[in-house]
Amino acid sequence: MKISIITAVYNGARSIAATLKSVAQQDHEAIEHILVDGASSDDTVATILANGARLARLISEPDRGVYDAFNKGLRAASGDVVAFLNCGDTYVSPSVVSRMAAELSDQSVQAAFGDVLIVAADNASRVIRRYSSRPFTPRRMALGLMPAHPTLFLRREIYQSVGEYDTNYRIAGDFELCLRVFAKRKTRYRYVPEALVRMPSGGVSNRGWRSKWQITREMQRACARDGVRTNFAKLCLRFPLKMLEMY
């Protein structure tokens, strides 16, 4: 099974090497790693070239944000399954991709996902909380719950069915895509009860209450567009669950 892993980056010279090395260390043989750089102005491209031993393709050109970069990667992908690993994120072990490939070898499974460890930005061994995908069901997307996107391995045919990421969203484009995949299409999925990815804290969706307000508004707009009945208050119910993850 060929797995396409797409990484989007912009001015990530200090963190992209860790992601490249993590993919290079995977024991699954058939990996197509596609890196989409938004015409970085720092040493990102040089760092990629120095550490891209397993890189299949580098696209470096201006883009209109992370979801535009994701779409460029999707169009270039040729794998049976597609996954996204953001700049700075790393797999917890060299067997993650082969583990997920084994889950998707069951033809009844169209998507598989697990948990993410949110770690300190300056110390990847210090876990701040565990983002668990266990509570997810398509109906609970009305509460703002979704699978941990960096752990989502999805058959490429599903993307061909539901379409690309909507670039009109700044933060919640992955949530809106998951609405189409799980709430509208009824994609058959399997939750793997393991931590699969380490994600440094400080991402755009976790930068204080202003970003939380914006992403919740975007989620509300996405639900209205995709026919999922909810409201702003219901979507905010995900925050107490996230707080519990710290304990």
- What is d(CA 107, CA 25) in angstroms, rounded to the nearest whole number? 27
pLDDT at 247 over 60: no
Task: Give the model's pLDDT for residue 245.
Answer: 60
How confident is the prediction for the chain on average, in pLDDT?
Answer: 94
User: What band does 25 get if pLDDT is binned at 50, 70 and 90?
Assistant: very high
- Residue-wise pLDDT for 96-123, tens only, equals 999 999 999 999 999 999 999 999 988 8
Cα atoms in the 13 Å half-sphere on the side-chain side of 112: 22
- Residue-wise pLDDT for 165-184, tens only, equals 999 999 999 999 999 999 99
Contact (CB, 8 A) for 19 and 48: no
The percent of residues above 70 in pLDDT, for the chain, comes to 95
Contact (CB, 8 A) for 193 and 112: no
User: What band does 159 get if pLDDT is binned at 50, 70 and 90?
Assistant: very high
pLDDT at 246 over 80: no
Q: What is the 3-state secondary structure of 30-61? A: CEEEEEEECCCCCCHHHHHHHHCCCEEEEEEC
Task: Give the model's pLDDT for residue 241.
Answer: 72
Task: Give the model's pLDDT for residue 239.
Answer: 82
Task: Give the model's pLDDT for residue 186.
Answer: 87
Task: Give the model's pLDDT for residue 209.
Answer: 72
Mean pLDDT of 36-59: 96
The domain limits of the chain are: 3-244
User: What band does 81 get if pLDDT is binned at 50, 70 and 90?
Assistant: very high
Task: Give the model's pLDDT for residue 1.
Answer: 95
Assign domain 3-244 one CATH number from 3.40.50.620, 1.10.10.10, 3.40.640.10, 3.90.550.10: 3.90.550.10
pLDDT at 140 over 70: yes
Measure CA of the first residue to CA of the last residue in the chain; give whole Å: 37
- What is d(CA 105, CA 26) in angstroms, rounded to the nearest whole number? 18
State CA 106 to chain mean position distance. 22
- Residue-wise pLDDT for 201-241, tens only, equals 876 555 567 888 999 999 999 999 999 999 999 999 888 77
pLDDT at 84 over 90: yes
Contact (CB, 8 A) for 37 and 44: yes
- What is d(CA 59, CA 44) in angstroms, rounded to the nearest whole number? 12
- What is d(CA 80, CA 70) in angstroms, rounded to the nearest whole number? 17
